[in-house]
Chains A and B, each alone.
Chain A
C-alpha cells in the first residue's frame, strides 16, 4: 500500500515537473539571441516594443521599416521623416542623456559604432537595457543593417521585401554606369577648411558605385584636409560639394571654384552641390544619394 502511494506520488511529481517544463518551453523558445556588428550578444525575451534610436540614420531605418509606432526616443537632428521631430529627444548622438533614455523604459536601444560613445553603450547595458550596435560602412552593409534591424524587431520578411526594392535601384545604377569611363570626382564635405573623404568611407563607396573615381581615396586620414593646390594639381573632372542647406553659403562655395580655370571640372562647368543628408547618413536614403551622385557623375546617361 505504502509503496503504491509512494509510486503514485513520484508519478505525480514527475507529471508536475513535465508540466512545468512544458510551460517553460515556449518562453525559452521566444527568448532569442542576436549578434550585433561588433559581435556582441544581444538577448531579447520578446520582439521589442519600445525602441530608442541613438542616431538620425537609425531613426530613418526604423521609419523605413514601418516600425515608427514602436519608436519611443530619438536623438537631436533626427528630422527625417518630418514626424520623427515629435518623438522624445535623448540628446545628440555623441552626447546621449542616459537618464532620459532610461526613463523612456526601452526594451531595445539601437546605437552606431562610429557615432555613439562606447561608455554610453556600456552604461546602458549595466542598466539592463539590451543595446544593438550597428556599424555599416559600405552601401551594401547599410542595406544588410536595415534587414538586421528588421530581423531583431521580428519583421524579417517585411524588411527583406523593402530592402529588396532598394537593392534593385542600386543594381540599376551599377548596370547603367558599367563599362563607362570613370571621371575623377572631388567630393567636398567641408568648405573651410577644404575636406574630402578617403577610401574607408561610405562616400567613397557611393562615388565608386556611381561610376566615378574618388580623388582623395589614397589619403591616410578618413576625412583628409586637402590643400587647394593639390586639388588643382590632380585636375578633378567633377567637383561635388556636399551641403547641409540649400543655396546661400554653398552656392557661394560653388561659384568660388570658377576662379580655378585650369581644373577640367570648372572648364566643363561640372561643379555641383548635393544634399549632405543623402550621402552622410547610413540610412535607406543613401540609395537616393547614390542615384543623385550617378546623375552628376554621368549626365550623359539617359536617366529616367
Chain B
C-alpha cells in the first residue's frame, strides 16, 4: 500500500476520534442552520430558545420546527449516513471507484416495489415502503444468488449482474411510467428522484437501530477492507476470511440501504461523491474513511435537502435533483485539482 504524504499514513485512534468529533460538530451546525431555514421565517435566537426549551414560541412555529423540519433533518442525515457508508464499503469490496450503494440493483429493485405500491394505490406510510423494502432485498438476493454460482462471490461477475439486473428493472419501471395514469405519475417521478418532504419521526426511529448495528459490524471489518482493496488473494494469504466479509457486508449494506430508500426514494450521488471526497482529504485507510464518509454523507444530504427546500420556496425540489446538480460539478472540480487517489493503492 504505497501511501503518499505522512499525514495520511498514520491512523491513530486519536485521529479517528478527533475527525469524528469535528465532523459531528459540522453536522450539528449544518442541522442547526437547516432548522432555521424555510418559508416560515424563524430567527436563530428563537430556535436556540426552542432547543433549550425556553422562550415563548407560538404554536405554529413550534409545530413547524418539531413536526416538519426536525424529522426531515434527522431522516436526511440518516439517509446520507447510510448511502455514503454503503458507497465506501462497496467501492472497497468491488475494488471499483464507480461502485455505489445502488450498483447491485437495490435502487431499481426498491423502485419496482414502490411503483407497484403506488399503482396498487397503497399508502406512503406503510404499504409503499414495505413493498419497496421487500423487493430491494429480493433483488439483492437474486443478484448475489446469480453471482455466487461457483461458490464464491466474484467481484466482476457481481458488478455485471448488478448492471444487467438494473437495466432489466429500469425497463420494467419505464413500462409502468408509460402506462401510468396521470394522477400516479407525479408520485412515481418524485419517488424516483428522491424526496424527503414527508419525513416522520417513526421512519427515523425505525431505521436508526438497524443502521447503527450494521455500521458497527462493518466498522469491525475496516482493517479487513483495507486488505481486500489491495487484492483478494493477498488478503486471503494474510488470513482474512474474504468470503465471509463480503457476504456480511453485502447483506448488511443492502439491508440498511433498502430500509432508507424505502422511505426516501432514490437519492443518487451521495454514495459516490462523499466517500471519494473523504478519500481525497483523509487518505484510503478504512478505519478513518468509514466513519468520516458516513458522517460526511449525513452533512452533505442535510445540506442538499435544505437547498432543495429553499431554492424555489415555497415550492420544493426533489433532493435527488440537488445532490446531482451540486455534487457532480463539485466532484469534477476536486478530481481535476487533486486527482483520484484510487490508483495509488
**Residue ranges of A at the interface with B (Cβ–Cβ < 8 Å):** 77, 190-195, 219, 221, 224-230, 232-233, 235, 244-245, 248-249, 252, 259-262, 276
Contact = CB atoms under 8 A, between A and B. Distances in A.
Q: Which 3 pairs of residues, A with B, have the shortest CB-CB distance?
A: A230-B314, A230-B39, A233-B40
A259 B67 contact: yes
Given A192-B124, A193-B190, A232 B315 contact: no
B24 interface: no
A248 B121 contact: yes
B315 A225 contact: yes
23 contacts: A77-B181, A190-B187, A192-B187, A194-B197, A195-B186, A219-B314, A225-B316, A226-B315, A227-B39, A227-B197, A227-B315, A229-B38, A229-B68, A229-B69, A230-B39, A232-B63, A232-B68, A244-B183, A248-B121, A252-B125, A259-B67, A260-B67, A262-B60
Contacts, number: 81
A159 B54 CA distance: 67
A9 to B, nearest CB: 70
Given A193-B316, A233-B39, A248-B121, A228 B197 contact: yes
Interface in B177-226: 181, 183, 186-187, 190, 195, 197-198
Interface residues of B, number: 29
Contact of B315 (A190, A219, A233, A262): A219
Contacts of B124: 191-192
B316 A233 contact: no
A226 B60 CA distance: 17
Q: Among the interface residues B39, B309, B315, which one has the most CB atoms of the partner chain A within 10 A?
A: B315
B123 interface: yes
Contacts of A230: 39-40, 313-314
B314 to A, nearest CB: 4
Contacts of A190: 183, 186-187
A252 B198 CA distance: 14
A226 B312 CA distance: 10
Contact of B39 (A225, A229, A260, A276): A229
Nearest to B182: A94
A226 B314 CA distance: 6
A225 B40 CA distance: 16
